[in-house]
Amino acid sequence: MNYLLKKDIDAVMERDPAARSRLEVRLTYNGIKALRAYRRAHKLHNKKHYLLARLISQRAARRTGIEIHPAAKIGEGLFIDHGHGVVIGETAEIGNNVTIYQGVTLGGTGKGTGKRHPTIGDNVMISSGAKILGPVTIGAGCKVGAGSVVLKDVPPNCTVVGVPGRVVRMNGNKYQDMDQFVPDPVLEEFAKIRDRINCLEEKLGLNCSKYSMTEEAANKPDYSTDKEEK
């Protein structure tokens, strides 16, 4: 067993409470299978055997549901948990002891050339469904929340959540400088309509205050009309 494979299995044994033995991890874990194929393909890619490297990587993608480009740079101790739907792009760089859950994308944002995929620091955790797009850098020790979409650089030791991703914790403390307001377009449109109605009422000299009612009164059935008719 080579050194990198040993470190990858060590990472699984350390971080996955469901792992019972090293043999089980090596034979059944899709993350390990994908990494073994990637490391073979990466060696071939470095020797400029591009087609053969891509054949190996695509075969592994069909078998495991994890697509890793042979040109990506991955450190030791990567743990891909479950892993189905994980995509790691061509110019992505991943440090040591990183944890990636299912559905994660380390992708690009367009058809540009050069460095167009993320750089992930050491000891980073990327939760299920997170998307990190473009040549951004995620600092060491960061946590990316499930379903987040990260489009900007993130300093070390931060927690990022939301769409787009926003820093909510830094160095273990709540990040106070973040604007937590998320606009609601529906409420904004209702507010615009209300303002226009008020403006029209003022121009027409109407006083509609007598039509206003409390929420409790609005929800209470009114039988007065029926009684008058009787």
Q: Is 17 exposed, middle or buried (0-12, 13-18, 19+ CB in 10 A)?
A: exposed
Please give the pLDDT value at position 119.
94
Q: Which residues contact 207 (CB under 8 A, 6 or more apart)?
A: 201
Give the tens place of pLDDT for each residue, 92-109: 999 999 999 999 999 988
Taking the C-alpha atoms of residue 21 and residue 32, their distance in angstroms, rounded to an integer, is 13
Is omega for the bond preceding 185 within 30 degrees of 0, making it cis?
A: no
Instruction: Return the H-helix or E-strand segment holding 88.
Output: strand 87-88
Give the tens place of pLDDT for each residue, 139-196: 999 999 999 999 999 999 999 998 888 888 888 777 655 555 566 788 888 889 998 8
Closest C-alpha among 135, 69, 79 to residue 102: 79
Is pLDDT of 110 > 90? Answer: no
- Residue 213 binned pLDDT confidence (cut-offs 50, 70, 90): very low
The share of the chain scoring above pLDDT 90, in percent, equals 57
Is pLDDT of 39 > 80? Answer: yes
CA of 111: how far to CAs of 90, 116, 134, in Å?
Answer: 12, 9, 11
Say which CATH architecture domain 3-174 belongs to: 3 Solenoid (2.160)
CA of 8: how far to CAs of 43, 82, 160, in Å?
Answer: 17, 14, 25
Instruction: Find where tokens 């997170």 sit.
Output: 130
Is pLDDT of 230 > 50? Answer: no
**What ranges do the domains of the chain cover?**
3-174, 185-229
pTM above 0.75, yes or no: no
The total of other beta-carbon atoms located within 10 Å of residue 88's CB is 27
- Residue 113 binned pLDDT confidence (cut-offs 50, 70, 90): confident
> What value does the mean pLDDT of the chain take?
85
Pick 19 or 219 by higher pLDDT.
19
Is pLDDT of 220 > 70? Answer: no
Instruction: Return the H-helix or E-strand segment holding 7.
Output: helix 3-15
Taking the C-alpha atoms of residue 88 and residue 111, their distance in angstroms, rounded to an integer, is 16
Cα-Cα-Cα-Cα dihedral of 120, 124, 128, 130, to 10°? -40
At 12, give phi and psi (nearest 5°).
-65, -45
Average pLDDT over residues 28-47: 93
Q: Is 90 exposed, middle or buried (0-12, 13-18, 19+ CB in 10 A)?
A: middle
Give the tens place of pLDDT for each residue, 198-209: 888 888 877 655
